[in-house]
Structure 1
Amino acid sequence: MPLLPRRWRLPYVALLVVVGLLQSVSALQSYRQGGGERPWEPFLWEFSSIAVIAWLALAVHALMGRLGGRPWLRQLAAHAVALPLFSLAHVGGMFGLRLLVYGLTGVDYQPGELSTLLVYEGGKDAVTYFSFCLISRGIWMARAADVRARELDRARRELAEARLARLADQVQPHFLFNTLNLISSVMYEDVAAADRLLCQLADLLRQTLAAQQRVEHTLGEELALVQPFLALMQARFGRERLDVRIEADAAARACRLPALLLLAPVENAVKHDVARHRGRVTVSVVATRDGERLQLRVSNHGDTPVPEAPPDPDGGLGLRNLRERLEARYGGAAQVRFGPDGAGMSLEVALPCAC
């Protein structure tokens, strides 16, 4: 990573120019009061120093990056060597530029005794050097904190994706076992019907496997899996016992959600509630979009409930899985409500709509 990224180069140069102008204007006032006759001289003095300092500041920043995490004694030894070099480079570069310009203009320039210059400039350079060290340390610490934050965020995303994948993997075996149990009861009554149901189940499993690989898809694609499943269950129980209703407008169908999110709740509604009612059961799936929220409702209503088979107040494994998947994907932005609804049960899910 470059010490000075491209996007910071122009602001860095602009900052140096502004600092140089401010110092030059201030020096110009003293210069005029002292009887100076060449107004460009204070600008040369200040900008010659700024030009050299601009490169030395980057060198100090690089040094601080290399010293990060090193033992304190090694850092002190490095600074003990770097500080004199910093001052010598500053003095040499600064007066070298001045002598060059004065030579080109034909103006005589006497900078003074070298020992006096080194002592005078060395004190200022020490303050400048350690100021750069403190600023640089803060920049390196901020950069390290930013890197750690991005790595932590990436680790959290990967953990969430792994958790979502694990939860999604639980859906298909749970759905498969329950569906095979339902179909097995038909085999001794109607072999042809059982064979037909198994073929339909195989097609449905191929579709669910493809959906599972995508992790996320639209509600329309989710309903394209729910509809054949409900058709399969109607063939199993008969249309006189199982009535199916699916309502979703175009805006709701465009919303994205985790793949196979509704399959387990719909399957539970069919499996448990057809068994809990002697008469006709209506399973409905309704989806609406309210602004940036997707509202889902899976409900079932039967004619005559069987009191000996009370519903699971938690909604069973399928709904526990649904809650965990929504928590992993949306956090507190998704809400789930499940409970009695007249002669049946109702599941309501509200989550952000991302298209």
Structure 2
Amino acid sequence: MSLLPRRWRLPYIALLVVVGLLLSVSALQSYRQGGGTRPWEPFLWEFSSIGVIAGLALGVHALMGRLSGRPWQQQLAAHAVALPLFSLAHIGGMFGLRLLVYGIVGVDYETGDLSTLLVYEGGKDAVTYFSFCLISRGIWMARAAALRAQELERARRELAEARLARLADQVQPHFLFNTLNLISSVMYEDVAAADRLLCQLADLLRQTLAARQRVEHTLGEELALVQPFLALMQARFGPERLIVRIEADAAARACRLPALLLLAPVENAVKHDVARHRGRVTVSVAATHDGGRLQLRISNHGDTPVPEAPPDPDGGLGLRNLRERLQARYGDAARVEFGPDGAGMCLAVELPCGS
């Protein structure tokens, strides 16, 4: 039984018992019609054959596994040796069991002429052997296909994870460079403000580095990164010029999403739209949970736009990064829309709410 996995042992034994009973009942009817007086004999005949065949079938299966991928000449030579051994083992084991039982009960048993027996049983054994070979071949092919599918799925997961990591790596440098450029613009105007902004930036970078290690976290944890970033931008532009609104219900905050997913789109909303408007700019981040889906909206509206600086219709690098990350993580299960929204722009994201 060592050739058979533990979980298949009981089903295998049950199958052998069922086949043995069916053959025995059929043989019993012919036995009685022939005038037989010992009803246990057909059961002995059939189960002695089935029992030996059960062990030999496992040997054939192991042989087919070893021959897989070998040149056909080697396979043919192996079968030429294995077939007669299979038949001799079956005949010897089967009649050995029968003689043993008949000897125990004290009944004579005639095996018949040896040459006739070998031809008769050998023909049946050849059919049985090659049937087992075909069945075993199918099993090994199915197993190989399952292993290939597992390897392919593992490779796909690793590729997706590597792609997500690469896309996530794009976020921090992009955000960092733009933030440093913003800080540098006030460095000579207000040294204290620039120093305060750098300290806030250092704290935010520590949080983003920790978030990158998790790959995925809750929306609540993502907003915990967005809020200090927006506070940093408010300190840069002034709370009168940049107004921030964040609204998310408890169910939405519990949903999981890729780490640092919203930081770049929010950054773009602030950076590009503050530059495009002379007056106030309102940046809103709203999240709701509905029917197992997380719905996110990042919108910005400003007073008096500058006509010479139209918005990027594609949303810039931040939105392209977001689309690629969602496609790699969720495929068609995620939806992204970006376009005008009244006096401003709106990014709408809908994705499965993982927990």
**Letter paired with 1:324:** E
Match of 2:321 in 1: 321
How far apart are the structure 2 equivalents of 1:327 and 1:196?
38
How far apart are the structure 2 equivalents of 1:159 and 1:331?
14
TM-score (norm 1): 0.99
Match of 1:256 in 2: 256
Matched, 1:279 2:262: no
How far apart are the structure 2 equivalents of 1:86 and 1:3?
17
**Letter paired with 1:317:** L
The alpha-carbon deviation at position 3 of structure 1 amounts to 3.5
Match of 1:121 in 2: 121
How far apart are the structure 2 equivalents of 1:34 and 1:250?
82
**Letter paired with 1:108:** D
How far apart are the structure 2 equivalents of 1:217 and 1:288?
17
The alpha-carbon deviation at position 263 of structure 1 amounts to 0.2
Match of 2:233 in 1: 233
The alpha-carbon deviation at position 145 of structure 1 amounts to 0.2
Match of 2:21 in 1: 21
Match of 2:69 in 1: 69
How far apart are the structure 2 equivalents of 1:337 and 1:108?
88
The alpha-carbon deviation at position 328 of structure 1 amounts to 0.5
How far apart are the structure 2 equivalents of 1:261 and 1:147?
34
How far apart are the structure 2 equivalents of 1:70 and 1:141?
14
- TM-align CA RMSD: 0.6
Match of 2:100 in 1: 100
1:209-248 aligned at under 5 Å gives the runs 209-248=209-248
**Letter paired with 1:24:** S
Matched, 1:7 2:27: no
The alpha-carbon deviation at position 188 of structure 1 amounts to 1.1
Match of 2:187 in 1: 187
How far apart are the structure 1 equivalents of 2:192 and 2:3?
75
- 1:185-236 Cα offsets, whole Å, 9 max, x none, are 1111100000000000000000001101111000000000000000000000
Match of 1:140 in 2: 140
How far apart are the structure 1 equivalents of 2:333 and 2:291?
14
1:332-343 aligned at under 5 Å gives the runs 332-343=332-343
The alpha-carbon deviation at position 116 of structure 1 amounts to 1.2
How far apart are the structure 2 equivalents of 1:110 and 1:5?
39
Match of 1:201 in 2: 201
- 1:84-139 Cα offsets, whole Å, 9 max, x none, are 00000000000000000000000111111211111110000000000000000000
- 1:152-180 Cα offsets, whole Å, 9 max, x none, are 00000000000000000000000000001
How far apart are the structure 1 equivalents of 2:183 and 2:268?
15
- 1:288-309 Cα offsets, whole Å, 9 max, x none, are 0011110000000011111010
How far apart are the structure 1 equivalents of 2:86 and 2:311?
79
**Letter paired with 1:280:** R
- 1:301-340 Cα offsets, whole Å, 9 max, x none, are 0111110100000000111000000010011110100011
**Letter paired with 2:239:** R
* Identity between Structure 1 and Structure 2 (%): 90
How far apart are the structure 1 equivalents of 2:184 and 2:340?
30
- Secondary structure of 1:298's counterpart equals strand
Moved over 4 A (4+): none
Query: Structure 1: any 5+ residue segments left out of the alignment?
Result: none
The alpha-carbon deviation at position 80 of structure 1 amounts to 0.4
Match of 1:88 in 2: 88
- Secondary structure of 2:331's counterpart equals helix
How far apart are the structure 1 equivalents of 2:133 and 2:297?
61
How far apart are the structure 1 equivalents of 2:335 and 2:156?
22
1:24-39 aligned at under 5 Å gives the runs 24-39=24-39
The alpha-carbon deviation at position 6 of structure 1 amounts to 1.0
Match of 1:353 in 2: 353
**Letter paired with 1:287:** A
How far apart are the structure 2 equivalents of 1:338 and 1:179?
23
- Secondary structure of 1:18's counterpart equals helix
How far apart are the structure 2 equivalents of 1:129 and 1:292?
55
How far apart are the structure 1 equivalents of 2:340 and 2:4?
63
How far apart are the structure 2 equivalents of 1:235 and 1:247?
21
How far apart are the structure 1 equivalents of 2:49 and 2:3?
21
**Letter paired with 2:223:** L
- Secondary structure of 1:186's counterpart equals coil
1:153-192 aligned at under 5 Å gives the runs 153-192=153-192
How far apart are the structure 1 equivalents of 2:87 and 2:197?
87
The alpha-carbon deviation at position 4 of structure 1 amounts to 1.5
TM-score (norm 2): 0.99
